[in-house]
Structure 1
Amino acid sequence: MVTREQLAVVASTLAFLGGLALVAFAVTTGNHPRLADMGAGVTLGSLPFVILAKVRKANHINRDMAETIRREGYRLGLEHAGRGLLNPPPIHDNGEGAPRDAIATVHRLYAVSPQQQQDYAAAVERKQQAR
């Protein structure tokens, strides 16, 4: 079955090649400048459509590819669930009787170091006191 994307590729490519043929014919005969201009206009006008059709065709996935992607995602999800990667880390309040190895560690990621934060806070405080 012929799809719209295939028809778009064929139509835009034919228009592009037709424009090139008009330019080539006008150049080889030498005495048809309007024909060369029309061919150049058709060629340049159809070029964006050729590019768009080719990009859409390259990005098109069929049912088999979609099914393969779905199965791989399902397999990775099962693997991550089996390894415990989908469960959030346990949250403990470090209360009495909590074993040391059961306490979740949270590592803070700073855009700037804690020392730089303290220096900035001290500079802001000094500026406010100077007023």
Structure 2
Amino acid sequence: MITREQIAVAVSTVAFLGGLALVVAGAVTGEHPRLADIGAGVTLGSLPFVILARVRKQQHITRETAESLRREGYRLGLEHAGRGLLNPPPITDDGEGAPTGHVATVHHLYATRSNLAATDERRKRAR
């Protein structure tokens, strides 16, 4: 069965090659200078479609490739589950003020003025 992508590749390639043929015919004969101009316009106009068709064809995934990728993802998921990588970390009671698992973790920005002053004090104490 012929797909739309195959038709697009064929039509854009034929238009591109036809434009090149017009450029060559106009340049070789010399009798019809506008023929080369028309060919150049057709060639440049069809070039984006040729590129688009080639890129889409290159990125097309076959059914077999998609199935093998799905199986590999399933295998990796089973391997991670077997190694215990999918289990959540154990809940420990770190005391009052410790972050719980139900709130977002807040990372300190060390470039703020208050943190820069504290960092400078820590550096002085470390010397």
CA distance in 2, matches of 1:11, 1:63: 25
Give the total of aligned pairs.
Answer: 109
Gaps in structure 2 of 5+ consecutive residues: 96-105, 120-127
1:83 is matched with 83
- Give the partner amino acid of 1:68: S
CA distance in 2, matches of 1:109, 1:72: 35
CA distance in 2, matches of 1:30, 1:111: 71
Q: TM-score, normalised by structure 2?
A: 0.76
2:50 is matched with 50
The equivalences for 1:1-131 within 5 A come to 1-94=1-94, 112=110, 118-120=115-117
- Give the partner amino acid of 1:56: R
Using a 3 Å threshold, how does the CA distance of structure 1 residues 68 and 30 change in structure 2: closer, same or farther?
same
- Give the partner amino acid of 1:112: Y
> What are the Cα deviations for residues 10-32 of structure 1, in whole angstroms up to 9, with x where unaligned?
11011000000000001000121
Using a 3 Å threshold, how does the CA distance of structure 1 residues 13 and 120 change in structure 2: closer, same or farther?
farther
Asked whether the equivalents of residues 19 and 43 of structure 2 are also in contact (C-alpha less than 8 Å), the reply is yes
- Give the partner amino acid of 2:43: T
Q: TM-score, normalised by structure 1?
A: 0.74
Moved more, 44-53 or 84-93: 84-93
CA distance in 1, matches of 2:4, 2:15: 16
> What are the Cα deviations for residues 51-106 of structure 1, in whole angstroms up to 9, with x where unaligned?
000000000011101101100010011111111111111111047xxxxxxxxxxx
- Give the partner amino acid of 1:119: L
The runs of at least 4 aligned residues of structure 1 exceeding 3 Å deviation read: 108-113
Amino-acid identity (%):
69
Q: Please state how far the C-alpha of 1:110 moved relative to its aligned partner.
A: 5.8
1:128 is matched with none
Gaps in structure 1 of 5+ consecutive residues: 96-107, 123-131
CA distance in 2, matches of 1:111, 1:81: 35
